Structure 1
Amino acid sequence: MYSDFAARLATTMWPDFDQTPERSTETPEITDVSTVVVDGNFPWTIVTLETDAGVTGIGEAYPSPGVHEVITDYLQPVLRGENPLDVERLYHLMRESLSGRGSQQGMGTIAISGVELALWDAAGKILEQPVYQLLGGKMREEVRLYADCHAGEGMVEAALDEQPTEAYEAAAYANAARSAVDDGFEIVKFDLDVPSGREIDTLARHFDGPEIEHKRALVEAVTDEVGDEAEVAVDLHWNFSVEAAEKLCRALEPYDLAWVEDPIPPENADAMAELNRSVSQALLTGENCYGRHGFRDLLEQQAVSFVAPDIPKTGGIAETKKIGELADTYYTTLTPHNVGSPVATMAGVHVGATVPNFLALEYHARDVPWWDDLVDSDEPLIQNGRITVPDEPGLGIELDWDVVEEHRKT
């Protein structure tokens, strides 16, 4: 073989030549896994994974009761002593260890996802490579984010019951959209399953004409405000029937929305496909789907234009990349859901850097003024609606643990 000949020739001409790079013969081991919950706009469960290599990996699990106990009582004993570089093997080991206890979906998968993020961060730090490089390299230098705006300050006022009938008026939506667009976001999203000030039976999933008109007026206010400066998307949080969602989508046709998110409950791919065939708007769903198998029916039936897995919920970084690759075979776009801290957000950045059919990552914390303070950095992560893909090892960020402790949920 030519390579053997070249090696012998090099050794003959340069006796000190060694084609094998030096590397440590010691195998790193996991020594501990723990969690801390940060009291953000959601309870952000931060995972720390300690190794005997002097490296700590950080991850994040989707907000869910019981996740701390699953990680510390079940997953930590399984992982202690294992090689943190074997990320995919350990992912399957965790699933096997929780077999029958939610390892396919639900709380078990959420716990596994949080640890998986920490494993990738630790592996990248040990190998001195960014996570995107371990996933095959990056396709883009920046990852675009879209701003989940709700209704700006009106959302908070409604939650406090200070202005229950005024909080969801069109002006609040328009003001929130203007603020996000001025900050550089090119896609903004708003909730439409919000009170209109009328008494209705929401459990029936049927909204009458005045209710649909209220939601149409909200969309009109936002699109009139931003014009061509940004795309506008809306979220319905599974609160409609096929019949009601179809009527609402037709009422919103003049506004050229980027997508309509979760118009009907998430369990029935057949119903979503039926709705998709009957309306002109692009549909998006996926935050309540787990793993590749949870997206298979949606993609095979081409029931949506966008899939939105939540990385710290659906299985983690590698599983989300596989979901994106599966979606790409159906020419469907990946737009991950994200309600997390900077840790979950950076996991999304590394996925977005490596997946060709990626559009944008959700940013859900515009109402958390100390979100950036969680990161040990002098510069904000998000600039002009984008995050630069980092070249630092692992996820590319370190947390300021003093700030974490300050906002720790007791």
Structure 2
Amino acid sequence: MRDFSMPDVRRAPERDVSITAVDTAVIRGNFDWNLVRVHTDAGVSGLGEAYRGGGVDEIVGYLADVLVGENPLDVERLFRHMVQETSGHGGTTGKVVTAASGVEFALWDLAGKLLGLPTYQLLGGKYRDEVRLYVDLHAGESYAVAHGATDYADDAAYQAEAYVERATEALDLGYDAMKFDLDAPADNDPEPTNGRLTPTHVAAKEEVVAGVVDAVDGRAEVAFDCHWDYDLGSGRRLAKALEPYPIMWLEDVLPPENMDAQRELARSTSTPLATGENRFRVHEFTQLLDDYAVDVVTPDPATVGGLAEAKAIANRAEERYLAFAPHNVCSPVGTAAMVHLCAAVPNASYLEYHALDVDWWTDLLDRDDPFIEDGRIAVSEAPGHGVELDESVARDHAVAHTDGFFEGADA
């Protein structure tokens, strides 16, 4: 088996640093956010975040045994080390890669702090001073998420008027890019499992799109998400119906496993298509990109393998003149890391923001100036990701943590 462990590799004394511990905390917001902190013998720690959901903190705990004693500056080698050491039990995909992604985020933050450089500089340099967000919206109280399950509202929440109201609210807050969920509970009537849309379903979705596009009236770009719900025939009919509307993209129309079906959908419509959040590592994007089965590629860096892996995907997309718009449901910790990624990628177009209704979201950061202004996040010039936790707010919302996660205080 390949061996990526190199704790004794030579380097200058000032960069001879070792990882001493890796700790986690689960913070409950609109999702369960999995935060990661990597400690060193230099007295400096790095902060990261893995994709939401259960079990990730336990996997990070397992990975800690792989990392202690290693030099945190070897970020990409250590990611490969984590993948290799877990390859016998799912290390090339799924939640193991997700957990390693959170550690990787923290390693970049730590490396930046140790070297006195912002993360974007370590990733190759800056293409922009601020990153444009698209805000993920829901019509009214359209659904709530508990441990990843969807709880739909009544039919009134899915009428075009509810979407228009939310779009107008987002405009008033300064957002000029937004995304709505286009799937609805009515899609399951009369048959909940076959993924087929009736003509009535398609017409209702077209009415929503028409209403939102008319309401924003060129003041914002709008995308729509289907959450990989439909069969190929339904996807084709829906995409065809939306061709007259100038939307940013139609996202995740089909289940993610079959790239041939995704390619056929792309061949059948001029409506821009987006997908990618359910894929792991750069290898799973090869056919998607080679077949031009997507117009906008949307990996989630906190899932796919971290910032370097997401950048590799963005680079391959750029070679094919395709846009890159990372999926993101993180707290501001993971979001800040992704801002640096988007700053370092030429074809980055938007970064998702998925916490408009979490009124304490930015309170999780220890900072005085606003984190988001007019739908943008400025690229920090501070070392690492440029953010620090407000430990008190994090503690108030923590549902689990290891003893060493909260710095300067007993667990």
> In the alignment, which residue of structure 2 is the partner of 1:57?
46
> In the alignment, which residue of structure 2 is the partner of 1:252?
242
Per-residue deviation at 1:89?
Answer: 1.1
- Given the alignment, which residue of 279, 291, 296 partners 2:269? 279
* CA–CA separation in structure 1 for the residues paired with 2:199 and 2:218: 28
Per-residue deviation at 1:156?
Answer: 5.1
> In the alignment, which residue of structure 1 is the partner of 2:5?
none
Task: Show the 5 A alignment for 1:68-79.
Answer: 68-72=57-61, 74-79=62-67
- Given the alignment, which residue of 26, 45, 48 partners 2:37? 48
Per-residue deviation at 1:196?
Answer: 3.4
Does the 8 Å CA contact 1:259/1:283 hold for their aligned counterparts? yes
* CA–CA separation in structure 1 for the residues paired with 2:126 and 2:151: 44
* CA–CA separation in structure 1 for the residues paired with 2:181 and 2:58: 32
Counterpart code for 2:41: D
Give the SS at the match of 1:166: helix
- Given the alignment, which residue of 269, 287, 290 partners 1:297? 287
> In the alignment, which residue of structure 2 is the partner of 1:359?
349
Does the 8 Å CA contact 1:153/1:172 hold for their aligned counterparts? no
Counterpart code for 1:123: A
Matched, 1:201 2:191: yes
Counterpart code for 1:36: A
- Given the alignment, which residue of 20, 23, 26 partners 1:37? 26
Per-residue deviation at 1:200?
Answer: 2.5
Q: Closer, same or farther in 2 for the Cα pair 1:261/1:90, shift >3 Å?
A: same
* CA–CA separation in structure 1 for the residues paired with 2:218 and 2:333: 32
> In the alignment, which residue of structure 2 is the partner of 1:86?
74
Does the 8 Å CA contact 2:138/2:181 hold for their aligned counterparts? yes
Q: Which runs of 5+ in 2 are unaligned?
A: 1-11, 401-411
Task: Show the 5 A alignment for 1:207-356.
Answer: 207-356=197-346
User: What TM-score, normalized to structure 1?
Assistant: 0.91
Please list the CA deviations of residues 174-230 of structure 1 after superposition, one character each: whole Å capped at 9, or x if unmatched.
111111122222211111111239733131111111111121111122111111001
- Given the alignment, which residue of 138, 143, 149 partners 2:131? 143
> In the alignment, which residue of structure 2 is the partner of 1:385?
375
User: What TM-score, normalized to structure 2?
Assistant: 0.91
Deviates more, 1:238-247 or 1:96-105: 96-105
* CA–CA separation in structure 1 for the residues paired with 2:38 and 2:185: 43
Does the 8 Å CA contact 1:282/1:305 hold for their aligned counterparts? yes
Matched, 1:130 2:118: yes
Does the 8 Å CA contact 2:187/2:197 hold for their aligned counterparts? no
Aligned length: 386
* CA–CA separation in structure 2 for the residues paired with 1:33 and 1:380: 29
Per-residue deviation at 1:116?
Answer: 0.3
Per-residue deviation at 1:24?
Answer: 4.5
Does the 8 Å CA contact 2:31/2:53 hold for their aligned counterparts? no
Q: Closer, same or farther in 2 for the Cα pair 1:200/1:30, shift >3 Å?
A: same
* CA–CA separation in structure 2 for the residues paired with 1:135 and 1:262: 29
Identity between Structure 1 and Structure 2 (%): 48
* CA–CA separation in structure 1 for the residues paired with 2:116 and 2:295: 37
Per-residue deviation at 1:65?
Answer: 2.2
* CA–CA separation in structure 1 for the residues paired with 2:269 and 2:57: 42
* CA–CA separation in structure 1 for the residues paired with 2:389 and 2:335: 13
- Given the alignment, which residue of 98, 105, 117 partners 2:105? 117
* CA–CA separation in structure 1 for the residues paired with 2:231 and 2:189: 18
- Given the alignment, which residue of 168, 183, 192 partners 2:173? 183
Q: Closer, same or farther in 2 for the Cα pair 1:327/1:236, shift >3 Å?
A: same
Does the 8 Å CA contact 2:179/2:224 hold for their aligned counterparts? yes
Per-residue deviation at 1:269?
Answer: 1.1
* CA–CA separation in structure 2 for the residues paired with 1:109 and 1:209: 40
Per-residue deviation at 1:347?
Answer: 1.4
Q: Which runs of 5+ in 1 are unaligned?
A: 1-22
Does the 8 Å CA contact 1:272/1:303 hold for their aligned counterparts? yes
RMSD between superposed Cα atoms in Å:
1.7
